[in-house]
Structures are given as C-alpha cells and as structure tokens.
Amino acid sequence: MAKVLIFGATGVAGKHITHALVHSKEGIAQLGIFTSQNTVDTKADFIEKLKSKGVDIHVGDVTNEQDVLAAYKDYDTIVNAAGRNAILSQIDLLRWAEQTSNIKRFFPSEYGTDIEYSSETSPHEKPHQLKLKVRAFIKEHIKRLEHTYVVTGPYAEMAFGRMPPAIEVAGTFDVQGKRAVLLGTGDEPVSYTTMPDLGNLVVAALLHPEQARNKALKVNSFTASGKAVLAEFEKQTGEKWNVKFTPMNELKRLEKEAWEKENPMATVYTLRRIWTEGGTLYKERDNKLIDAEDTETLATVVARVISTQTKAAI
C-alpha cells in the first residue's frame, strides 16, 4: 500500500491525478499534497474538498529543504505534477528524496509528449529542455530512488478544444461555429490521452511497481487522425463542418516565426508539429503492462468537448 505525496496537485494535470488517487479503491494507504500558502488561500474550496476526503495538506515553500523534508517523512512515493515554469524545482526535490530513506519512488512531472522519442530530433526541441535536464539529473545522480516517467501524449480535451482566433491556425475545433482547422493533411494519426485517463494511468503505474520501475511508460487512451476527430464532431453535432487545413510546411513556418518573435505560443506550434509528424506513435503502447487497457474513447471525449463548449457559450 503506497503512501503518496503529490506536488502540483491543484494544477491542470495535477487535479486529474489527485482525483484519481483520491478515488482509487486499492493500493493507496495515505494521500497528501504539498502546496504553497498562496494556493491554500486562492483555491480554498478545492483544498477543503481534499481535506474532507482525508487528504493531508502540507503547506510550505517547494524550494525550502526543511519544509519539504518535514512533509517527506510520512510518505514513500512522490508524484510531481509541477507546471512548465516549475519543472526545475524537481531537481532539489529529487536530491532530498534520494537522501530520505522512506521515499522509494518518484514520478517526475511529465504527462505529455515523449521528450526522448527520437535520439536525433528530441534533444533539440525547445519545449523539452527543462524536462530533459530533470531526466539527465536522475540518470547521473539518482541511484536508490525508483522513477517512472508517465508519457501520455497530448490531452484530447485540449487538442480538440477551440483555440483563440490568433492561433487557430495551430488547430481548432469550434463547436458553436461548426468549423475546424486540421493540421498536416488531416490523415496523420496522433495518440491522445483524456484527462480522466491521465489520472487513472498514473494510478495504474503506481499499482504496478515492477512494470513501471525506472522507465518511460508510453500510455494513451486512443489514436485518431484529424479527419477522424472531425468526423466524430460532425456525427455528434449532426452537421457538416467548415474545414481548413494548415499544411506541415506552413505549421513549421509559423513555429519558426513564433520562436523568433518570442511569442509565448511558440511551444504550442512545436508540440503540435511533433504530434503531427508522428511523435506520439509506437509499435505497441504500454497500457497492457500496467493493466490499463480499458480507456476512454474518441466518442466519449468529443461528447465532453461539445458539452463544455456549449455550456461556455450560454
């Protein structure tokens, strides 16, 4: 039975991971989160909800060794879901965990695109750099702690969302407007993970320590092309949609321009270019390894996106 401490529990990914851990019917003996006073103040309702479910709340500064060590003493597993701007905070967290004998396992904040998909191109992708530094630190300095990188590919709910007008060339599904922009030719398959499945897959990895030990687990919910996603939206909305395409050459041009102009959306272009190029595809995914083959479908997540966009428009 694992005793799990979560960092980044109230974030976009962390909320889903925390929810799945709270509702896990087996394998979790104790659950806590480490968070800042600011999050406790600004997300008070969510924190109270966690408390009511028996989750322990440890408040402190993630960069303060004493605060972190005080929380570490009650747990054996760390699940980190830090946001992109806090990825490097994990290096100290790993160092301190390595020195804390009761901590046995560490799940670094990954939950996305495979940062070591290709030995030729992945090392040079700008959005991968911070996570690559964390992996390099683990390779070099972590001897005792076990680690698992949960690699999920893109979240379907986000990838099938409606983009703001300025960036809809990077792909969009607009339910109200019945219009979509597809990337590449629209035929390229991409493997997606839904956000509830993200949580369930992390729990499954936690419950299969032998299979998940010291590796990147490549898991997902389903694989679909842009045209297949569009066809599902059209089926469920009962109407043909207006479709445009952003071909690969144009996507690459926009990506280059965005990085040159230091546009904060540059990461979005890069990740979507990687997904469209096939950077989420494997001969075999690892779901079976952790007994997690029962995942959500394209139809389920499209229904969810339609409901979310429709409610937002009311």
Ligand X SMILES: NC(=O)c1ccc[n+]([C@@H]2O[C@H](COP(=O)([O-])OP(=O)(O)OC[C@H]3O[C@@H](n4cnc5c(N)ncnc54)[C@H](OP(=O)(O)O)[C@@H]3O)[C@@H](O)[C@H]2O)c1
Q: Does 36 bind ligand X (CB under 6 A)?
A: yes
Size of the residue set binding ligand X (CB under 6 A): 26
Which residues make Cβ contacts (< 8 Å) with residue 245, sequence separation at least 6? 181, 182, 183, 184, 185, 186
Q: Which is nearer to ligand X, 40 or 248 (CB)?
A: 40
Identity of the residue, 41 or 239, whose beta carbon is nearer to ligand X in the bound complex: 41
Q: How far is the CB of 240 from ligand X (least distance, A)?
A: 28
152 binding ligand X? (CB under 6 A): yes
Positive or negative: CA dihedral 287, 288, 290, 292: positive
Position 32 contacts ligand X (CB under 6 A) = no
Is 154 a binding residue for ligand X by CB under 6 A? The answer is yes
Is residue 59 close enough to count as binding ligand X by CB under 6 A? no
First CA to last CA distance, the chain: 45
Answer yes or no: are the C-beta atoms of 62 and 86 closer than 8 Å. yes
**Per-residue x/- mask for ligand X, residues 158 to 177, rule CB under 6 A?**
x-------------------
- Residue 137's CB is within 10 A of a number of other CB atoms, namely 17
Active-site position among 25, 104, 126, 131: 131
Check binding of 156 to ligand X (CB under 6 A): no
Applying CB under 6 A, the span of 69-77, 153-161, 241-249, 252-260 interacting with ligand X comes to 153-161
Residue 98 · residue 145 · CB < 8 Å: yes
Tell which positions 234-293 bind ligand X, by CB under 6 A.
none
On whether the CB atoms of residues 223 and 191 are closer than 8 A, the answer is yes
Q: Are 268 and 159 in contact (CB under 8 A)?
A: no
131 is catalytic: yes
Catalytic residue IDs: 131
Give the binding site for ligand X (CB under 6 A). 8-14, 35-36, 39, 62, 81-86, 89, 109-112, 152, 154-155, 158
